[in-house]
Structure 1
Amino acid sequence: MKWNTLAAAFGLVAPSSALLRFGCSQLTVQRLDPLVNPGSNPSPHLHQIIGGNSFNVSMDHANHDLVAKSTCTSCQFTEDFSNYWTAVIYFKARNGTYKRVPQRPQQGMENTNGGMVVYYMSDALFDTAQKSKVTAFKPGFRMLIGDVNYRTREQARDFRQLTYICMQNEGTREPETLDFPTKPCPAGIMANHRFPTCWDGVNLDSPNHRDHVAYPETGTFESGGKCPATHPVRIPQILLETVWDTKKFNDKALWPSDGSQPFVWSSGDKTGFSTHADYLFGWKDDSLQKAMDAHTYVSTPSLKTQTIAQQNKCTVPDMVREDIDSWLTALPGGVMVN
């Protein structure tokens, strides 16, 4: 990723330290969720996944070493065999049929097959100092952000900064909303997933995949809030950016006759408040800690990169074998929209 491209997109004028930003190609899109529904083939709803190719139906943290079992990664840095995934957005046409909305790469990452952009930060994205100390995740660490069952703004406030951006152009980064945009977005819809940044320092996971991590006591990671005593260890901020290419669905003649917005998550949510993301840590050895400790911007000499063509080659087999891309009469799995 070239510095001038990033600067143009974010209005940055000088490099900072301890911030990684990198693209990941699509690893697979299928109805699997080894974190919430381990062993279930298929899982209840569709996900889009990036990262190491050891992704599978079951991935028990005690017996599944992402680094040892992966032979490639769809991410730019070859040391990152982690897996990251979110639900998938569908367009619901006026006639009641559904079409999967494709993902598109961001500027400077053209030719990437779908996927997402991933950030690891020690301070706020626009903090040019990036000098805070963070503790990298440990092998076996995993977490979930968001709740698939949420449908209201008040429920969504339980999770800070799970947002949408109606992109007017490639550089649009505001305003952010908690629910789906209500008007056509010329450059697509960006979904942002920011994970908690405080850890209890003991548990690599928890029954709901959330209790072992927390937000700062007050404010946000960006505002420098202190971690609570129950979760004293400051971990990197992970931000996932997914750009959903909604351009071909912007003809309002295709939208519902009542004028309501036409997009739904594969989990059946038409409000946008159920947005959620999963993370399974899989960085090789101490490569992430070294990268977070380095005084570099976007990438670091300690990490090896691969070409986009190499990223695109890293995929996993279709284990569910269902049609997800035709015009469908129902969401995959027959998920009801509400």
Structure 2
Amino acid sequence: MGRNTRKRRTPLATKIVAGAAALAVGGGGLVWANFYASAHEDHGGHNRTRSAGAQVATIDCPDVGQKIRDVPDRARGEVDGELATMDSQITNAYQRLATTRRAQAGDSQFVQNSILGPLKDRRKAIIDRIQLEINRAGGKADDNLDELAGCQGRPADQQNGGGQNGGGQDDGQNGDDQNGDGQNGDGQNGDGQNQDDNGNGVAGPVADDFIDINDVQPNSRNSRNGLAANGDGGSTGTFVTDCGVNENNLFNSDNLIAAPGVDNGAHHTHDYVGNQDNDAFSSDEDLANADTSCQNQGDKSTYYWPVLRLQDGTQEFDANDQGGGAEGNIGKILKPAQAELKFVGSQQGDVVAMPKFLRIITGDAKSFTNGDANANTSWSCSGFEDRQVTDKYPLCPEGSQVLRTTNFQSCWDGQNIDSANHRDHMAFVQEDGSCPEGFQAIPQLQVRLAYDIPTPTVENGQVQNPYAVDSFPEQLHKPITDHNDFINVMDEDLMNEVVDCINRGEDCQ
């Protein structure tokens, strides 16, 4: 498929995106108004906060991109661009939600009439254009995409567990009863004070997003995805590639896979290791000709993930930029102390080579509103690796590192390096370690990131000096939104070496 080769003119650290919403910045980030009143309760051995009111905390929109299928290759660039515009619309609507609390307190229909209604109209216009672009390119657009135009508002303590739609079509649901005069009125929102911002002016994370690792039951991870592909049988070898921990300070808020050709397509900042020509405008040729941070120079693959930040008031290079502080991603960027990139085999037999430029997205940056169908997060602490959580940040004891582990999809459809929704060409192994029908096993990428992070303190329902993953603003820095991305740019000789090593049962690097 074609890739936009236009290059950005200025680095992220110095640019301000034209046309972005004007935002009030202070205390190192976007100043958000309060989202909900909290009542403290004890549950399951750790402190939790629950909504005492039902004020709208964020905007929940059906993910149109995950519903699109069979987009002709020549229309994919246009469709990806339209979907990125839709993401920007949600971000702008969320910014309006966060900065109009006084108006919401005085008008029970404000959210519906001024935010959700207009948002639905704008999304409907984009969906119409997407359908037209697909049909013009010789495809057949889904006539039911219009049903995904409407969004809803909901409280921050209410995760969408109903899948990707989750009631998002009912755009008028929260007009009367979630923004009334009696809830979160003058005392909490009218003056712009935020009781749940941990003193740093952003929405999330909150105390309920953290859990003491000792309170996590062993072997109780609740993710359906991310099973380790290898086991006692099949191809038992491993291949480790050492690409550093982003010593070159390569950061940007693009997403080359999901939003090629779109500046700030991720709305949050990524860490990059491996390939050194990673931005939204990099072509396959650019990637092939780039330098790499990997010790094995045959590995020019790109490995990237959202940065972790310590919300300690540090003014980072992107404190005033879109994707950074201007969209609520604030504080000190924490590089991993160690980034282990390992490829493993299949329980059921040999693996085959990955095609060059294969793209894989694992996890879901919108899991808080989409639901956990594609969530693939694993948080833990060193020394407690048998205790894994998907929807909480762990509080680790002194001397223990915070761990982020991701096991990628390792079943390939044998034909495509990408797909319209960037997922359908890949699949996770089944419970017995085999690939679904029509898919074949490739080396499974496992990424293990270890961080030295001072443990946040939780007192009286508040968390002090929290750490959090960068996120789309409306995702409220929830840990379940963690995700990871990979583009294979290994040369043919190295990929054959990886496959041979794994199939022979050897441990190589």
Aligned equivalent of 1:331: none
1:163 aligned residue: 378
Are 1:156 and 1:178, in contact at CA under 8 Å, matched by a contact in 2?
no
Alignment partner, residue 266 of structure 1: 470
Counterpart contact for 1:156–1:274, Cα < 8 Å:
no
Gaps of 5+ in 2: 1-234, 315-327
Report the equivalent of 1:307: none
Change in CA separation of 1:77 and 1:256 when aligned onto 2, cut-off 3 Å: farther
Paired with 1:202 and 1:75, the residues of 2 have a C-alpha distance of 27
Give the aligned residue type for 2:372: A
Partner residue, 1:120: 343
SS of residue paired to 1:286: helix
Q: How far did residue 242 of structure 1 move?
A: 1.4
Moved more, 75-84 or 33-42: 33-42
Is the Cα–Cα contact under 8 Å of residues 86 and 278 in structure 1 kept in the other structure?
yes
Q: 1:41 aligns with which of 263, 270, 273?
A: 263
Superposition pairs for residues 1-338 of structure 1, below 5 Å?
Answer: 18-25=237-244, 26=246, 27=248, 28-43=250-265, 44-61=267-284, 64=285, 66-67=287-288, 69-70=289-290, 72-93=291-312, 98-106=330-338, 116-123=339-346, 132-151=349-368, 155-159=371-375, 161-168=376-383, 172-186=384-398, 187-216=400-429, 218-219=430-431, 224-230=432-438, 232-247=439-454, 250=455, 252=457, 258-260=461-463, 262-267=466-471, 268=473, 269-294=476-501, 295=504, 297-299=506-508
Q: What residue identity is the alignment partner of 2:349?
A: S
Segment drifting more, 189-198 vs 87-96: 87-96
Q: Distance in 2 between the 1:57 and 1:200 partners?
A: 25
Whether contact under 8 Å (1:133, 1:293) holds in the other structure is no
Question: Cα distance, 1:196 vs. partner?
Answer: 0.6
Question: Shift of the alpha carbon at 1:239?
Answer: 0.7
What is the Cα deviation at residue 102 of structure 1? 1.6
Distance 1:29 1:185, change over 3 A: farther
- The answer on whether the counterparts of 2:345 and 2:351 sit within 8 Å (CA) in structure 1 is yes
- Contact preservation (8 Å) 1:149, 1:274: yes
In the alignment, is the contact (CA less than 8 A) between 2:346 and 2:434 conserved in 1? no
Q: CA deviation at 1:174?
A: 2.6
1:103/1:243 contact within 8 Å kept: no
| Length-normalised TM-score, structure 1 | 0.66
Report how far residue 229 of structure 1 moved. Answer: 1.3
1:278 to partner: Cα distance? 1.0
Q: Given that residues 51 and 75 in structure 1 are in contact (C-alpha distance below 8 angstroms), is that contact kept between their aligned partners in structure 2?
A: yes
Cα distance in 2 for residues equivalent to 1:183 and 1:147: 23
Q: CA deviation at 1:193?
A: 1.4
CA distance in 1, matches of 2:345, 2:329: 44
Q: 1:75 to 1:256 in 2, by over 3 A?
A: farther
Distance 2:261 2:355 in 1: 24
Pair 1:246–1:289, CA change in 2 (3 A) = same
SS of the aligned residue for 2:497 comes to helix
Q: Identity of counterpart residues, as a percentage?
A: 22
1:103-144 Cα shifts (integer Å, max 9, x gaps): 2333xxxxxxxxx210101147xxxxxx93111211221111
Aligned residues: CA RMSD: 2.9
2:508 and 2:259 map into 1 onto residues whose CA distance is 34
3-state secondary structure, aligned to 2:481: coil
Aligned to 1:24, the other structure's residue is in SS state coil
Distance in 2 between residues matched to 1:97 and 1:36, nearest whole Å: 20
Contact 1:167 1:185 in 2 (8 A): no
- Checking the alignment, whether the CA contact within 8 Å between 1:18 and 1:291 is kept in structure 2 is no
Is contact 1:140–1:204 with CA below 8 Å preserved after alignment? yes
Distance change (3 Å), C-alpha of 1:213 and 1:147 = same
Structure 1 position 185, deviation (Å):
4.5
Counterpart contact for 2:395–2:456, Cα < 8 Å: no
1:256 CA displacement: 6.9
Q: Whose Rg is larger?
A: 2
- 1:286-313 deviation digits (Å, cap 9, x = unpaired): 311222212464425xxxxxxxxxxxxx
Aligned partners of 1:278 and 1:42: how far apart in 2? 16
Q: TM (normalized to structure 2)?
A: 0.45
CA drift at 1:235 = 1.0
Amino acid at match of 2:340: V
Paired letter, 1:18: G
Equivalent pair of 2:380/2:394 in contact (CA under 8 Å): no
Relative to its length, the structure with more helix (as a share) is 2
2:371 partner SS: helix
Q: Deviations over 1:79-100 (max 9, x none)?
A: 1000010111123359999423
Q: Tell me: higher relative CO, structure 1 or 2? Use CA pairs within 8 A at least 6 residues apart.
A: 1
One-letter code of the match for 2:434?
Answer: K
- Is contact 1:94–1:257 with CA below 8 Å preserved after alignment? no
1:66 is paired with a residue of what secondary structure? Answer: helix
Match of 1:332 in 2: none
